[in-house]
Chain A
Amino acid sequence: MAAVRKSKFDRVFDGALYVILGFLALTYIYALIYVVSASFSDPNAVYSGRVVLWPVDFTLNGYERVFKEKMLWYGYGNSLLYMTVGSVVSTSFTLMGAYALSRKDLPGRGIITGLLVFTMFFSGGIIPLYLVVRSLSLIDTIWALVLPGAVSMSNVIIARTFYVSSIPTGLLDAAKIDGCNNVRFFFRVALPLSKAIIAVITLYYAVGLWNDYFNAMIYIKTREKYPLQLFLREILISSQQSSAMTGDVLEQEILAQLQEIIKYTLIVVGSVPLLLLYPFLQKYFVQGVLIGSLKE
C-alpha cells in the first residue's frame, strides 16, 4: 500500500500542514526565547525595541534586583510548602475515596457517586464557601489553601476509572482467600500497582496549587504568608511596584529604569520550575487526559 504515489493534492496538503503547524510551534518558541532574552538585556534596549531575538547589552541587573527581594523568597518557600502539603492531602483523599468508589460491591456506591458528581454542576458560589472557611477559622492559615479545593471530582473520576480497569478482580478474590482485608489489599496490592495514576493525580494537584492565586487572595492576609503567584500578581499586574518594593529615592530611580526588564525577569523566575520539570512530566499529564477520557 505504501508504494502508492501520493497525489499532487496530498503533497500540497502535507506541505500546508508543515507550514501551519510549524508557524504555530514557532509562536510558542519565539515567545519563550523573547522573554528570556529580554530578561537578560539592557532595559533601554528592551524599551526601544532593539531586542528581537537574542539578548542585547547582556546584563544580570534584573535578576540581581529581583533576587534581593525578600518577598520573592518568602513566596517561593510558601508556594513550595502549600504545594507539598496540599498535594499530599489531596492525593491521599482522592486515591482512597476513588478506590472505595471503584469497588462494585460497595453498598451505596451509586448514590455517593451521584452526590459527588452533582457538585460538579451546582455549587454554592464563593460567598457561602468563604463563610464556611471563615467559621472554621481557617483564614490566614495554610489550610484555607489546602482544604477548600482538596478534592477535584475530575481527578476522582480519573483514579476510579483507573482502578476499575486495571486492578483485576481476581487479585482481590485471591487476597481475600488469604485473609487479606480491604485496607491491607489497598496498601499492599492496589497502591503499588497504581504508581502511574499517583504520579498523574499528584501532578495535577501540584500544578493547580502552585499556580493558584485566587484562594490566597481571598484567604491569606499576612504578606509573609503569600504564595509566589500572589506576590507576582502584586508586582506584575497591580503595578504597585513602588509601594511593593520600598527603598530610597536613588533605588526608586534605578528601579523605574529596571522595571522594563524586571517584568520579564519575574515571568522567567515565576515559570522556571514548571518549564524545567515539564519535559520529564509531560507524559504523565497526557496520561491523565487519556485515562480521564475512558468510559467505565
Chain B
Amino acid sequence: MKKTGHRSSLRFRLNNTWDLYFFLLPMLAYFIIFHYVPLYGLQIAFKDFKIRMGIMASPWIGLYEFKRLFSTSLLLTAIGNTLMLSVYSLGFGFLPPIILALMLNQVPSLKFKKFVQTVSYAPHFISVVVMVSLLFCLFSTTNGIVTRILGVFGLGPYPLTSQAKYFRGLYVGSDIWQNMGFSAIIYIAALSSISPELHEAATIDGANKFQRIWHVDIPGILPTITIMLILRSGSIMSVGFQKVYLMQTSLNLTRSETISTYVYKVGLEGGDYSFSTAVGLFNSVVNFILIISVNAITRRLSETSLW
C-alpha cells in the first residue's frame, strides 16, 4: 500500500485531494472579495476618488491626503485619544483576568468556583448596545443606582456619564467588568495543566498559598500571558469602534473621538472617501508594525512568540 516515494509527489497528492479545493472555494472567495479586494481599494488613499468615476478612473494625487492627515488637528486629537484609550485598556485591563484566574484556581470550594465562573462569563455575551445603555442607566448622575450607592458612602455625586474626563475610566472599567470572566478562561485552562505535584512539593517545603501562586502558578502560565500580551499590543492603535461610538456624546468628544470614529464620520457620513481611507491605512500600517515588533522583541526575550 505504501509507496513512500510517490506519496509526497505533487501529482499523487493532487490526485488525492483535488476535490478538497471545492471545500475551500466559498471561504477563499470570501477572503478575496471582502479582504483582498478592499486592499486593492486602498489605492484611493492616493487618489482623488470620485464615486461616479470608480477606483480605476479617479486621478492620482500622490501623498496629498497624507499631508492633510498630519495637519488636521482634530485627527491628531483622535490619534492621541486612541493611544491613551488603548494604553488604559492594556494597563488596567490586562491583569484582572489573570488575577481572577489565579484566585479561582486557589478557591477550595469547587462549587463556589463554578458559581463565580458561570456568573462572570455571562456579561461577555451581552451586546454593546445593551451594555452601554445599562452603563448610562446605572451611572446616571441624577438617578443612577451606582451614583446612589456611592452617595451612601459619602462619595460623589460624580458626573460620570457626562464629563469628558471620566470617559476613559468608564470605558475601560466597564470593559473589564464585562469581559474579565471570559478572558480568564484561557488562563484557567493553562493553570489546570500545571502538574499538581509541583504544588504538593511546594506545600511540603512549607510554601503558603501566595508563595505557591508566585513560584508555581505564575511561571506556569507565563507563555500564555506572553501570547496574550503580543496579541493585545498588536491592536493598540485599534480601539473597538462600536462601544466608543455608542458612548460618544457632544460632551465627551474631546476624549472619545478616536481614529475609527473619525474615519467613520469623515468617510461614511461626510463622503470624504480618499481622506478617511488614508487615515485608515495609516492606522493599519502602524498596527502592523507594532505587532511585528512586539513579536520580534518577545521572541528575543522569551521563547514564546506568535510565529
Chain A positions within 8 Å of B, measured between CB atoms, are: 1, 4, 7, 9-10, 13-14, 17-18, 20-22, 24-25, 27-29, 31, 34-35, 38, 46-49, 51-52, 92-94, 96-97, 99-101, 103, 105-107, 112, 115-116, 119, 121-132, 136, 147-151, 156, 176, 181-183, 186, 207, 210-214, 218, 229, 232-233, 236-237, 260, 263-264, 266-267, 270-271, 274-275, 278-279, 282, 285-286, 289-290, 293
User: In the complex, are the beta carbons of A14 and B108 less than 8 A apart?
Assistant: yes
Chain B residues in 8 Å Cβ range of A20:
103
A105-B128 contact given A13-B210, A97-B26, A124-B42, CB 8 Å threshold: no
A-B contact list, 15 entries, CB within 8 Å: A9-B209, A13-B209, A28-B122, A121-B291, A126-B267, A127-B44, A127-B276, A128-B39, A128-B40, A232-B127, A232-B133, A267-B133, A282-B121, A289-B189, A293-B224
Chain B residues in 8 Å Cβ range of A132:
33-34, 37-38, 41
User: In the complex, are the beta carbons of A183 and B203 less than 8 A apart?
Assistant: no
A103-B20 contact given A93-B30, A232-B129, A270-B129, CB 8 Å threshold: yes
With CB as the reference atom, state the residue of chain A lying closest to B264.
A126
User: In the complex, are the beta carbons of B273 and A213 less than 8 A apart?
Assistant: no
User: In the complex, are the beta carbons of B30 and A147 less than 8 A apart?
Assistant: yes
User: In the complex, are the beta carbons of A14 and B209 less than 8 A apart?
Assistant: yes
The 7 A-B residue pairs whose C-beta atoms are closest, nearest first, are A124-B38, A125-B280, A97-B27, A128-B41, A211-B127, A128-B38, A236-B133
User: In the complex, are the beta carbons of A129 and B39 less than 8 A apart?
Assistant: no
13 extra interchain contacts, Cβ-Cβ under 8 A, other than A25-B116, A93-B30, A122-B288? A9-B209, A21-B116, A24-B120, A34-B138, A34-B145, A112-B24, A126-B280, A131-B44, A211-B128, A211-B129, A214-B242, A267-B134, A278-B125
Cross-interface CB contact of A271 among B22, B100, B127, B138, cutoff 8 Å = B127
Chain A residues in 8 Å Cβ range of B31:
115-116, 119, 151
- Cβ of B299 within 8 Å of any chain A Cβ, yes or no, is no
Chain B residues in 8 Å Cβ range of A34:
138, 145
User: In the complex, are the beta carbons of A127 and B234 less than 8 A apart?
Assistant: no
Q: Is the interface of A mostly helix, strand, loop or mixed?
A: helix
Chain A residues in 8 Å Cβ range of B19:
181-183
Q: Number of B interface residues, CB 8 Å?
A: 92
Chain A residues in 8 Å Cβ range of B40:
128
Which of B9-17, B72-80, B162-170 forms contacts with chain A? B9-17
User: In the complex, are the beta carbons of A125 and B283 less than 8 A apart?
Assistant: yes
Distance of A129 Cα from B38 Cα, bound (Å)? 5
User: In the complex, are the beta carbons of B126 and A274 less than 8 A apart?
Assistant: yes
Chain B residues in 8 Å Cβ range of A116:
27, 31
User: In the complex, are the beta carbons of B28 and A97 less than 8 A apart?
Assistant: yes
Chain B positions within 8 Å of A, measured between CB atoms, are: 10, 13-14, 16-17, 19-24, 26-28, 30-31, 33-42, 44, 51, 55, 100, 103-104, 106-108, 112, 115-116, 118-123, 125-130, 132-134, 136-138, 143, 145, 148, 177, 182, 185-186, 189-190, 200, 203-204, 208-210, 224, 234, 241-242, 245-246, 260, 263-264, 267-268, 273, 276-277, 280-281, 283-284, 287-288, 291
A1-B127 contact given A93-B27, A105-B13, A151-B30, CB 8 Å threshold: no
Chain B residues in 8 Å Cβ range of A96:
23-24, 26-27
Residue in A7, A18, A115, A127 with the greatest tally of chain B CB atoms within 10 Å: A127
A207-B268 contact given A18-B112, A132-B34, CB 8 Å threshold: no
Cross-interface CB contact of A286 among B20, B121, B264, B291, cutoff 8 Å = B121
A214-B120 contact given A101-B24, A207-B125, CB 8 Å threshold: no
Chain B residues in 8 Å Cβ range of A236:
129-130, 132-133, 136
Chain B residues in 8 Å Cβ range of A186:
23
Chain B residues in 8 Å Cβ range of A290:
185, 189
